[in-house]
Amino acid sequence: MAELRCVLGPGEMPWVDELFEPQELRHCIRDLVALSTLPAIWKDYDTRQIADSVAAALLSMLHADVIFVTVPGLRDEPVVDVTRTGQAVSIGSSGHIEGILRGASRGDREQISAIDNPLGKGTLRIAAAPISFGRDAAIVACSVDPQFPSETHRLLLGIAANQAALAMQRRHAEAEQRRLASVIERSSEFVGFAHLDGTPQYLNNAAYELLGLSGIEEVQRLNIFDFMAPHERARALREALPMVMRTGRWLGELDFRHFRTGEIIPFLVDWFRIDDRRTGHPTNMATVSRDLRPQRKLEGDLRRLNESLEQRVTERTSELAKALERLTLEAEERLRADARAQQLQAELHHASRLTAAGQMAGALTHELNQPLTAFTNSVNAGRRMIANDPPYRIDTLRDVLDEAADQALRAGEIIRRLREFVTRGETEMRIENLPDLIREASELASAGTGPHRVQVRLSFDPRAEAVFANRIQLQQVMLNLIRNAHEAMAQSEMRELEVVTARLDDKSIEIAVVDRGSGLPDNIVKHLFEPFHTTKSDGMGLGLSICRSIVEAHQGKLGYEPNCGGGAVFRVKLPVPLER
């Protein structure tokens, strides 16, 4: 005791003063030894188990009635509150006491307080010691013993709190370390530590896998520069390493190599220096490096995608260009078709002028009568003057003859005008394509036939394709025949029209226009090709007579025969054009 006092001094260790009894000193030493062995027992304990163990130890060492240990939850750990009670305290009342002690634990822990004993008579004396593990962590001990707490009690309480704090901190640090280690282990990045001389100390699983390394024995025989592709070593040694040592860090791309396959693997390398916290001297170096292959693959895929997109855009553009070309061709075709339609329109117009001409011919006949009658009268008057009335006056006779000449000229003028109107001054004949000519005439004829749907069938003999004709005039013939056929079938049940060409022999070809219409009554057939025979209320009866004239002007023949199945057949016979 005296020795202890001498070494530590009574002021620094007040508890020493209490231990004048050898028995108590023995107990105290026993308790201190017991407390010092606890951390070894707590090696695998969690916070709750540590708190419970320290509470149990103190309950017996301090002869306390209640020990309450409270530890706030740190990080993801739960809050720990442990209460151990002596025999005097029932389980039921411990909850009540716990509430009181929780309040006491938050006060000044060094302060010894006393409260009315909630368990019975007298006072309950309370002593608390903070645990340096999070705010408000503490051990609170209480006892009904009026001597509580002695200095020894407070010493044991303080040491127990310290031991618990150290154990909890160590456990916490180990958990942190484990967490960190598992993050590094599970990382897909290459993580490694090495001595400053380049000897590897640690590689994570990803590093082993990425470089095809078998185990730590193999790694320990290597140097970190062996990890790199041969062509990178000089750069790493001369550029990167000096920079790591000088500035603490180098970040850049380096090619590594696979130890089994020899594959060159590009890495983004973060290479850094680790310094001793206290001295600041470099102790190790480390790296966290990323395999760039997936990124390169993505870049490659993206590049290929871009190229294929460009390719597709080019293809599409050329498709579009082709489509545009097609459209242009179609537009040109349409323009040509429009021009053709306009031409047909003009011809239709001309054709209708021809029909009108037919009608006009009637009117002109009437007109011609006048000058012809006047001419006849003048000539008769002159003849009478010479025969019956001598001596006649020569002047009067000249006047009468002049009048006759004037009337003859007038009649001639009327005829010339009609001829000009009908032929439009065109009498040119040339080799024409007969099917084309018929097709156009059929289109024109069908154009104004009203709502009746006539089934038209055109059938052409390839040996009867050429005809020597004035196209407009021959078309006018076809137009008339086809239109008559349409009109004849307006009331028919069967509306079938056939235009058939045929080579009859070496010299002639024939065009037959066959319909299933009303046919022709005998009285009409007799005068069919004579002018002014018509059964139509608005007809002139001139069409067929003009047709026959035109056909005959082409050295041909136009004839009619009844269709045996009902209806009419008109046949145009024309000479085969001479070979040129």
Judged by the rule CB under 6 A, the positions of this chain that interact with ligand ADP are 480, 484-485, 488, 515, 517-520, 524, 528, 533-536, 539-544, 568
Nearest-approach distance from CB 546 to ligand ADP, in angstroms:
8
The residue type found at 37 is T
Q: Record the tokens describing residue 475, joined without a space.
A: 């078309």
Our CB check for ligand ADP shows the closer of 162 and 518 to be: 518
Our CB check for ligand ADP shows the closer of 130 and 531 to be: 531
Please state, in angstroms and rounded to a whole number, the distance separating the CA atoms of residues 229 and 252: 15
Q: At what angle do helices 22-41 and 151-186 cross, to 10 degrees?
A: 10
Nearest-approach distance from CB 553 to ligand ADP, in angstroms:
17
Our CB check for ligand ADP shows the closer of 92 and 450 to be: 450
Nearest-approach distance from CB 480 to ligand ADP, in angstroms:
6
3-state helix, strand, coil in the chain (%, to 5): 55, 20, 25
Q: How many residues does the chain have?
A: 580
CB count, 10 Å around CB of 82? Answer: 21
Exposed / middle / buried, residue 553 (Cβ in 10 Å: 0-12, 13-18, 19+): middle
Q: CB under 8 Å to 538, separation ≥6 — which residues?
A: none
Our CB check for ligand ADP shows the closer of 382 and 517 to be: 517
Nearest-approach distance from CB 392 to ligand ADP, in angstroms:
49
Nearest-approach distance from CB 539 to ligand ADP, in angstroms:
3
Nearest-approach distance from CB 532 to ligand ADP, in angstroms:
9
- Residue pair 256/222 in contact by the 8 Å Cβ criterion: no
Our CB check for ligand ADP shows the closer of 223 and 492 to be: 492
Nearest-approach distance from CB 351 to ligand ADP, in angstroms:
13
Our CB check for ligand ADP shows the closer of 454 and 485 to be: 485
Element (H, E) at 152: helix 151-186
Cα Rg, the chain, nearest whole Å: 65
Closest CA to 144 of 128, 131, 125, 168: 125
Our CB check for ligand ADP shows the closer of 231 and 536 to be: 536
What one-character-per-residue DSSP string does 483-542 give? HHHHHHTTT-S--EEEEEEEE-SSSEEEEEEEE-S----HHHHHTTTSTT--SSTT--S-
Helix boundaries (H) for 187-279: 205-211, 216-220, 230-235, 241-247
The b/e string for 523-536 (b: 16+ C-beta within 10 A; e otherwise) is: eeeeebbebebeee
Please state, in angstroms and rounded to a whole number, the distance separating the CA atoms of residues 215 and 209: 10
Please state, in angstroms and rounded to a whole number, the distance separating the CA atoms of residues 576 and 499: 18
* HSE-CB of 39 using CA atoms within 13 angstroms: 16
494 torsion bin: left (phi>0), alpha (psi -120 to 50), beta (else) = beta
Nearest-approach distance from CB 541 to ligand ADP, in angstroms:
4
Please state, in angstroms and rounded to a whole number, the distance separating the CA atoms of residues 287 and 228: 13
Closest CA to 71 of 172, 184, 195: 172
Our CB check for ligand ADP shows the closer of 356 and 405 to be: 356
Our CB check for ligand ADP shows the closer of 156 and 542 to be: 542
Nearest-approach distance from CB 531 to ligand ADP, in angstroms:
8
- Lookup result for tokens 């020493």: 16
Nearest-approach distance from CB 534 to ligand ADP, in angstroms:
3
Exposed / middle / buried, residue 21 (Cβ in 10 Å: 0-12, 13-18, 19+): exposed
Nearest-approach distance from CB 467 to ligand ADP, in angstroms:
22
Our CB check for ligand ADP shows the closer of 481 and 574 to be: 481
Our CB check for ligand ADP shows the closer of 85 and 480 to be: 480
The residue type found at 299 is E
